[in-house]
Amino acid sequence: MKPGDLVKNKKYPEEMGLFMGMRTFKRKASNGSVGSAYTCAEVMWFERNAPNGDRISTIQKDLIEVISE
| pLDDT surpassing 90 at residue 67 | yes
- Going from N- to C-terminal start, the domains of the chain cover 6-68
Percent of the chain with pLDDT over 70: 96
* 2, 61 Cβ separation under 8 angstroms: no
Closest by CA to 49, choosing from 22, 15, 4, is: 15
Distance CA 41, CA 12 (A): 16
Residue with the larger pLDDT of the pair 10 and 69: 10
Task: Give how far the C-alpha of residue 55 lies from the chain's centroid of Cα atoms, to the nearest Å.
Answer: 11
Residue with the larger pLDDT of the pair 30 and 5: 5
| pLDDT surpassing 90 at residue 27 | no
Residue-wise pLDDT tens digits, 30-54: 776 777 888 999 999 999 888 888 9
Neighbours of 67 (CB within 10 A): 11
Predicted model pTM: 0.81
